[in-house]
Chain A
Amino acid sequence: MTSLTVHDVSVRFGGLTAVDAASFTVESGSVTGLIGPNGAGKTTLFNVITGLQAPSGGTVTLDDRDLRKAKPYKRARLGIARTFQRLEAFGSLTVRENVLVAAEMRRRWSTTKYDAAEETETILGRVGIQHLADARAEDLPTGNARLVEVARALAVKPSVLLLDEPSSGLDESETDVLGVLMHALAQEGLAILLVEHDMPLVMTTCNYINVLDFGKIIARGTPTEIQNDEHVQRAYLGSVAKAES
């Protein structure tokens, strides 16, 4: 059982408060949603969790281990992997190499022996991008490049997986496949934190949802609770409902 806890984390850029005392937990075996309007601070929180952004205050702990001093690569080795909202695939490498780099890195700290190339093929198959294996990542359309990032993150064999808008750029059926994959990964014991704007995907995949607005967690609960939450409707879903009607 793994749990990642974000406790009282704040991030300020000069006078701007991007994240304001946010706290939540991500448990293994479940998909936790982190939703909110653009600019709510979701990606900043991802950067704090993975160590790319130092918080102005608060702590991130992985199974009671304080990550404050851990550099990004250490956190990866401890089992935190992520994808990026603004694509960060290794553009000049092929899709296969993108995953291979991660699989090979893991050999340096993994206690079990495995064949990185074999592992790579398995993951490519699992994410459903085997047919793209020899394409250069920068030549791919956005949706596929996101899947490359998912595959790369999986190659780290994480216990916590952070997905930053993985479905944007995917069509409906591809999104469904992604949903199924997330379910399966959670079943295997992964703790998934999902930032997503695709509400149907969030509502069907997540076990638990945190709603972020102006850097603050304004609501939390199960999908049903969130859908009925007054604050959320006002801040976020309300506008969506209006737009759809």
Chain B
Amino acid sequence: MAKPKRSASTHRRHSNPDVSVRRSLGPIVAATVVLTVAVATWGGRPVTGESLIQLLIFALPLAGIFALAATGLVVVYTTTGVFNFAQGAIGMLAAYVYWQLHVDWGWPNVLSVAVTVLGFAPAFGWMLNRLIMRHLVGKDLVVQLMVTVGLLLGFIGVANTIWDPNQSHTVNPFFGIEGFQISGVTLTWHRLIALVVAVVLVVGLRFLLYATRLGIAMRAVVDNQGLAQLSGVPSERVSSFSWMLGSCLAALAGVLYANEIGVGASLVLATLVPAFAAAAVGRMRSLPLTYLGALILALLMQFASVYLSFTGDWQPAKERIPEVMLFVVLLLLPPASLKFARFSGVRRRARVVPPRQGAIGLAVLVVTMPLFGLLQSATNLSRLTLAMGLAIVALSLVPLTGWAGQVSFAPLAFAGIGAAAFAHFGGESGRPLAILIGAIAAAPVGAALSLIAVRLQGLYLGLATFAFAYFTRDAILNNSRMYGGVSLTTPRQTWFGISFSGNQAYLTLLTVVFAIIALALMAIRTSSFGRRLVAMRDSEAASATVGVNIFETKVVVFTISAFVAGLGGSFLAMFYINTDSGRFEAIAGLGLVLQMVVGGIALVSGAVFAGVFQLPIIILREKSAEVSWLLWLEPKLRGLEQIAPGFAALGIIQNPEGAVVAVGKGFAPLVPGDTAARKVASAERARKAERYAAQSSEIGLSIALTASSIAEVERQLRVTDALAPRGSS
């Protein structure tokens, strides 16, 4: 028999030379840009041995902390497939626990650290996996992401409930400010510990993953959970361990960084994006590359702070290096190939409301919302009005994420761009058409983002939009051509003879605007373009093979989405009257997306839900403060108000279509005359029963098996005879 030819290696070398050229082009461009920026903003400090050592002494421990945070992300992501947005929040909780033990209760430092990192953190990680995360495996990406985003916000809420955020919680560095001198620069013991811990852990983890049974099992579970289970890997235990480990790493990062940032929500923000950026360098998989990413980031940040001076409009950009790096790294990754559907498993959110039913619903909204407003106190009316404004922004996600499946965390950033443009071009004089300026300004930014983002998918797309939102808030909106750090006035106007200065009138206006946009979107959904969007989400590969230009489709839907968000931004600016960039925080945008997903991302009613979600709790809390015998409830609800939005996200594990659909499904069969809904409900029941029967027969069981039929089978097989003791028959 002829030997098979092994010519692959020789072929590989000269195949597709332009690909390798293109790949090296990205880093070259990035390096050139970094150099140009460095030259343009050079602060004039001479590069001496001392300043370089100072740079290193500050950068290396920082890199260690980022690496710890990022490694936790990577370990959990590679073994469970869940990208944990709440990683930084776990670190924050751990830092609080450490503060409680060490500062408040006066426990010895070593004991406090040990209890926090080796006791609290793994227990917390174990519980997290047990209660929540194991239910996320194999779920739709949007569900996975939003549950962890929910936990991020929920954990901050929990921390703020237990520890008063208005008091400062500070911890001192281990061993104070002591350390040793290197060429006149002090390296504190604390920083040295951070660095050493990071280095020891990278070596240890590498060993764990590649040289131990557990590590190999961990990596096997990532590749194929089912197969790993079949070959005897206890995947449940492996993912449990991963979460415990990830939680420990988060806690370490939190405890080590707390003395510099302070214990509190700021600690989450200080590690969140840097960890993402470092993990992105490792493509969420490679630990060594993740460490390299952390090192590059820390060096860049320290380099900028030592040598560069950003002035004027670009001053805030210096603080945004992690976001910029995250964005750039994601763009340098090789472009994703067209996505195939995973046909089985994930059931998509795909409810299409018939146009007539939708129109009736919106009409009801337009009538009831202002009436509801009439019943509210001035404060709550204002909140309700804001909620409707946010609901318009949330609508922008319906076509983009709900139908086209493109994850975006940046709706509020587009609203900010829209609001600023509106303020500059006619917002002050307030011609009705000026409202459109916001939308028209945001749309091309959306198009531009999509041109870049079109090569990214899923998680990477979400992270890129998150970085974009961050950068927009701090660097773009603070540009002097936008808000420039001041607030701009956009008074409410009198249009068509109606003054909208009062909230009641403005709420009515917003509700009508919402209904109009919602109608337009519903028309798009039932058009051929709408079908194409859903088709693209279900299978990019198949869409392309029937002639859908994926690139063009994505650009169009991004543009539409930005247009709607920009329009919402204009209306928000008019609501606030005095607006500054602080209204468009990236984290607030994250919360808006979360509530939208919880409500139902593919539905316009989900947007109403997103807007008004928190109101019932707020109103209940205020009412309970007024009623003497309910007074005890008030502080409890105050906590709930912060925690609820985060933990509400857990609902989407069971109801990925969103609360609106889940509630609607439950109520629809009860509506008299709605036979269609009853039919759907009974069909659903039948399908469940069928699936149960199919599962039972798969494992060789028949649900029709009763005691008598078993006896019959046994009689036929003469099992009883064989089993009967000898001589008894």
Nearest B residue to A155 by beta-carbon distance?
Answer: B546
CA distance A71 to B545 in the complex (A): 10
User: Given known contacts A56-B11, A87-B343, A138-B343, is B542 in contact with A156 (CB within 8 Å)?
Assistant: no
Count A interface residues, CB 8 Å.
51
Q: Do B338 and A15 have beta carbons less than 8 Å apart?
A: no
Q: Do B545 and A72 have beta carbons less than 8 Å apart?
A: yes
- CB contacts under 8 Å to B, within A148-175, are 149, 152-153, 155-156
Within the complex, the shortest CB–CB distance from B370 to chain A, in Å, comes to: 35
Among A50, A73, A77, A98, which residue has the most Cβ atoms of chain B within 10 A? A73
Q: Tell me which residues across on chain B come within 8 A of A88, comparing CB atoms.
A: 340-341, 343, 539, 541-542
CA distance A17 to B541 in the complex (A): 23
Nearest A residue to B4 by beta-carbon distance?
Answer: A214
Q: Do A104 and B15 have beta carbons less than 8 Å apart?
A: no
- CB contacts under 8 Å to B, within A90-113, are 90-93, 97-98, 100-102, 104-106, 108-109
Q: Does A57 contact B (CB under 8 A)?
A: yes
Which residue of the partner chain, among A51, A84, A91, contacts B538 with CB atoms under 8 Å? A91
Within the complex, the shortest CB–CB distance from A116 to chain B, in Å, comes to: 8
Q: Do B546 and A153 have beta carbons less than 8 Å apart?
A: yes
- CB contacts under 8 Å to A, within B504-544, are 528, 531-532, 534-535, 537-539, 541-544
Q: Do B548 and A93 have beta carbons less than 8 Å apart?
A: no
Q: Tell me which residues across on chain B come within 8 A of A7, comparing CB atoms.
A: none
Q: Tell me which residues across on chain B come within 8 A of A155, comparing CB atoms.
A: 546
Among A52, A57, A149, which residue has the most Cβ atoms of chain B within 10 A? A52
CA distance A101 to B544 in the complex (A): 11
Q: Do B547 and A76 have beta carbons less than 8 Å apart?
A: yes
Q: Do B11 and A93 have beta carbons less than 8 Å apart?
A: no
Q: Tell me which residues across on chain A come within 8 A of B24, comparing CB atoms.
A: none
User: Given known contacts A56-B16, A57-B15, A155-B546, is B338 in contact with A72 (CB within 8 Å)?
Assistant: yes
Q: Tell me which residues across on chain A come within 8 A of B538, comparing CB atoms.
A: 89-93
Q: Do A82 and B545 have beta carbons less than 8 Å apart?
A: yes
CA distance A73 to B15 in the complex (A): 24
Within the complex, the shortest CB–CB distance from B402 to chain A, in Å, comes to: 11
Q: Does B550 contact A (CB under 8 A)?
A: yes
CA distance A105 to B547 in the complex (A): 6
Q: Do A90 and B15 have beta carbons less than 8 Å apart?
A: no
Nearest A residue to B8 by beta-carbon distance?
Answer: A15
- CB contacts under 8 Å to B, within A4-20, are 10, 12, 14-17
Q: Chain B, interface size: which category?
A: 35 or more
Q: Tell me which residues across on chain B come within 8 A of A16, comparing CB atoms.
A: 8
Within the complex, the shortest CB–CB distance from A111 to chain B, in Å, comes to: 14
Q: Do A97 and B531 have beta carbons less than 8 Å apart?
A: yes
Q: Tell me which residues across on chain A come within 8 A of B544, comparing CB atoms.
A: 51-52, 71-73, 76
Q: Do A73 and B8 have beta carbons less than 8 Å apart?
A: no
Q: Tell me which residues across on chain B come within 8 A of A51, comparing CB atoms.
A: 544
Q: Tell me which residues across on chain A come within 8 A of B347, comparing CB atoms.
A: 138
Nearest A residue to B341 by beta-carbon distance?
Answer: A88
Q: Do B350 and A81 have beta carbons less than 8 Å apart?
A: no
Which residue of the partner chain, among B4, B16, B542, B549, contacts A90 with CB atoms under 8 Å? B542
Q: Tell me which residues across on chain A come within 8 A of B12, comparing CB atoms.
A: 12, 14-15, 56
Nearest B residue to A214 by beta-carbon distance?
Answer: B4
Within the complex, the shortest CB–CB distance from B38 to chain A, in Å, comes to: 37
Which residue of the partner chain, among A52, A76, A138, contacts B337 with CB atoms under 8 Å? A52
Q: Does A86 contact B (CB under 8 A)?
A: yes
Interface string of A157-197 (1 = CB under 8 A from B): 00000000000000000000000000000000000000000
Q: Do A138 and B348 have beta carbons less than 8 Å apart?
A: yes
Q: Tell me which residues across on chain B come within 8 A of A57, comparing CB atoms.
A: 11, 15
Within the complex, the shortest CB–CB distance from B250 to chain A, in Å, comes to: 35
Q: Does A136 contact B (CB under 8 A)?
A: yes
Interface string of B1-36 (1 = CB under 8 A from A): 000101111011001100000000000000000000
CA distance A75 to B12 in the complex (A): 26
Q: Tell me which residues across on chain B come within 8 A of A129, comparing CB atoms.
A: none
Q: Does A54 contact B (CB under 8 A)?
A: yes
CA distance A15 to B546 in the complex (A): 32
Q: Tell me which residues across on chain B come within 8 A of A72, comparing CB atoms.
A: 338, 541, 544-545
Number of A-B contacts (CB under 8 A): 132
Q: Do A73 and B528 have beta carbons less than 8 Å apart?
A: no
Within the complex, the shortest CB–CB distance from B55 to chain A, in Å, comes to: 40
User: Given known contacts A12-B15, A108-B547, A156-B547, is B8 in contact with A93 (CB within 8 Å)?
Assistant: no
Within the complex, the shortest CB–CB distance from B299 to chain A, in Å, comes to: 33
Q: Tell me which residues across on chain B come within 8 A of A156, comparing CB atoms.
A: 545-547
- CB contacts under 8 Å to B, within A122-136, are 136
Within the complex, the shortest CB–CB distance from B694 to chain A, in Å, comes to: 11
Q: Do A104 and B531 have beta carbons less than 8 Å apart?
A: yes
CA distance A87 to B544 in the complex (A): 15
Among A16, A87, A116, which residue has the most Cβ atoms of chain B within 10 A? A87
CA distance A149 to B548 in the complex (A): 15
Among A54, A88, A100, A152, which residue has the most Cβ atoms of chain B within 10 A? A88
Q: Do B15 and A15 have beta carbons less than 8 Å apart?
A: no
Q: Tell me which residues across on chain A come within 8 A of B546, comparing CB atoms.
A: 76, 81, 101-102, 105, 152-153, 155-156
Q: Tell me which residues across on chain B come within 8 A of A10, comparing CB atoms.
A: 11
Within the complex, the shortest CB–CB distance from B133 to chain A, in Å, comes to: 26
Within the complex, the shortest CB–CB distance from B350 to chain A, in Å, comes to: 3
Q: Tell me which residues across on chain B come within 8 A of A90, comparing CB atoms.
A: 341, 534-535, 538-539, 542-543
Nearest B residue to A107 by beta-carbon distance?
Answer: B528
Q: Tell me which residues across on chain B come within 8 A of A116, comparing CB atoms.
A: 528
Within the complex, the shortest CB–CB distance from B552 to chain A, in Å, comes to: 9
Which residue of the partner chain, among A54, A84, A97, A106, contacts B547 with CB atoms under 8 Å? A106
Within the complex, the shortest CB–CB distance from B557 to chain A, in Å, comes to: 15
Q: Tell me which residues across on chain A come within 8 A of B531, comparing CB atoms.
A: 93, 97, 100-101, 104
CA distance A76 to B343 in the complex (A): 22
CA distance A119 to B330 in the complex (A): 43
Q: Do A91 and B11 have beta carbons less than 8 Å apart?
A: no
Q: Tell me which residues across on chain A come within 8 A of B534, comparing CB atoms.
A: 90, 92-93
Nearest A residue to B6 by beta-carbon distance?
Answer: A15
CA distance A89 to B543 in the complex (A): 9
Q: Do A52 and B11 have beta carbons less than 8 Å apart?
A: no
Q: Do A136 and B9 have beta carbons less than 8 Å apart?
A: no
Q: Do B341 and A91 have beta carbons less than 8 Å apart?
A: yes
Q: Do A17 and B542 have beta carbons less than 8 Å apart?
A: no
CA distance A86 to B541 in the complex (A): 12
CA distance A12 to B532 in the complex (A): 33
Among B6, B12, B16, B549, which residue has the most Cβ atoms of chain A within 10 A? B549
Interface string of B548-570 (1 = CB under 8 A from A): 11100000000000000000000
Nearest B residue to A92 by beta-carbon distance?
Answer: B350
Q: Do A76 and B348 have beta carbons less than 8 Å apart?
A: no
Q: What are 10 A-B pairs at a CB distance below 8 A?
A: A14-B12, A56-B15, A72-B545, A76-B545, A88-B541, A91-B539, A100-B531, A101-B532, A101-B543, A138-B347
7 new A-B contacts, CB < 8 A, other than A91-B350, A108-B547, are A15-B8, A15-B9, A73-B545, A76-B545, A76-B546, A80-B545, A149-B542
What are the 9 closest A-B residue pairs judged by CB atoms, nearest first? Answer: A92-B350, A72-B544, A88-B542, A76-B547, A102-B546, A104-B528, A90-B538, A92-B348, A105-B547
Interface residues of B (CB under 8 A from A): 4, 6-9, 11-12, 15-16, 337-338, 340-341, 343, 347-350, 528, 531-532, 534-535, 537-539, 541-550, 687
